[in-house]
Amino acid sequence: MTAQLIDGLALSRDMRAQLGQRAAALTAAGRRPGLAVILVGDDPASAVYVRNKVKACEEQGLHSVLERYDATLTEAALLARVAALNADPAIHGILVQMPLPRHIDSHRVIESIATEKDVDGFSVHSAGCLMAGLPGLRPATPYGCMKLIESTGLDLRGKHAVVIGRSNTVGKPMALLLLQAHATVTVCHSATPDLALHTRAADVVVVAVGRRNTLRADMVKPGAVVVDVGMNRNDEGKLCGDVDFPAVREALGPEGWITPVPGGVGPMTITMLLVNTLQAAEART
Ligand code: NAP
């Protein structure tokens, strides 16, 4: 018997249906939630991500604006667009798709987004709120991972969670959210000498590295929950995660849980972006 699947598509569908109702209530009150997405350049993967985000907004009745600019857009021009959206009352959330062309300072752009519209949760203010346990907008991917873990029914209090990866957008906020849920958290990264030493003792493993087969069957404990954030291509060019999925699923046994790629973290990331946009719109009085 293999581990049970944590179905990110099904969870997303349920959550988005509820979000649609919240959006309709706000719209009826004259406050239709609005998200602006800015894409600079022609990176094909980024173009797909922003299209999916805008489509998800439209499906749930949110107002959405997609602004596409050539890769030659200057930093000053981008900052001016963000400033205009900061002042636009129809827009409650602003997302600038990363990565930006090299001549633009991403940090400066992120910091230029009004705090209350930072639906990606990447600003220093949002990161600080998470760190301090204060209310705020949480980064969508780790926030979605928390919902996926919650959906298994696991109570994280006192559990040992291992996060592999320490990026500012996934690994670090993931560790903080798990800590907030009273897990004992270990964060591993490229300088961790023996990953398996940590993961074999873990009740929950979140893998956010960007390298296939980072988590293998001999690295997990039966009954654990595994969340695979990675997005890679296998030898056939198909989307795959950071986990050796079939072997790890087998090793986790019937008491274990695992997210698939695709159909796990990806759809939840978009769903939590909508959650954040609604939260931002509801907070506006
Ligand atoms: P990132 O900024 O490149 O960070 C990768 C992390 O993995 C770093 O902290 C790095 O450690 C660590 N790492 C690299 N090699 C390692 C190894 N051999 N053992 C242990 N740790 C190792 O990537 P990211 O933005 O966090 O994204 C991670 C993955 O998630 C990517 O595949 C990305 O495409 C995917 N992703 C998916 C979604 C989604 O919605 N599904 C959203 C965001 C990201 P150091 O810090 O020491 O370098």
pLDDT 10s per residue in the chain (285 long)?
899 999 999 999 999 999 999 999 999 999 999 999 999 999 999 999 999 999 999 999 999 999 999 999 999 999 999 999 999 999 999 999 999 999 999 999 999 999 999 999 999 999 999 999 999 999 999 999 999 999 999 999 999 999 999 999 999 999 999 999 999 999 999 999 999 999 999 999 999 999 999 999 999 999 999 999 999 999 999 999 999 999 999 999 999 999 999 999 999 999 999 999 999 999 986
Q: Which residues line the pocket of ligand 1, CB cutoff 6 A?
A: 141, 164-167, 169-171, 188-192, 195, 208-211, 229-232, 265-266, 269
CB atoms within 10 A of CB 43: 17
Position in ligand 1 atom list of the atom nearest CA 144: 40
Q: Are residues 170 and 240 in the same domain?
A: yes
CATH number at residue 191: 3.40.50.720
Strands 184-188 and 232-233: unpaired
Q: Full-prediction pTM beyond 0.95?
A: yes
Helix (H) or strand (E) holding 252: helix 245-252
State phi, psi for 6 to the nearest 5 degrees.
Answer: -95, 110
Q: Are residues 149 and 93 in the same domain?
A: no
Number of domains in the chain: 2
Active-site residues, by number, are: 53, 97, 120
Q: Are residues 181 and 102 in the same domain?
A: no
Residue 197 maps to a domain: yes
Task: Give the residue numbers spanning the domain of 242.
Answer: 139-266
Tell which of 115, 149, 166 closes a domain.
115
Q: Are residues 238 and 164 in the same domain?
A: yes
Residue 4 maps to a domain: no
Residue with tokens 């926030």: 143
Residue 127 maps to a domain: no
Residue 21 maps to a domain: no
CA 230 – ligand 1 centroid, Å: 7
Residue with tokens 């980064």: 139
Q: Whose CA is closest to atom 13 on ligand 1?
A: 190
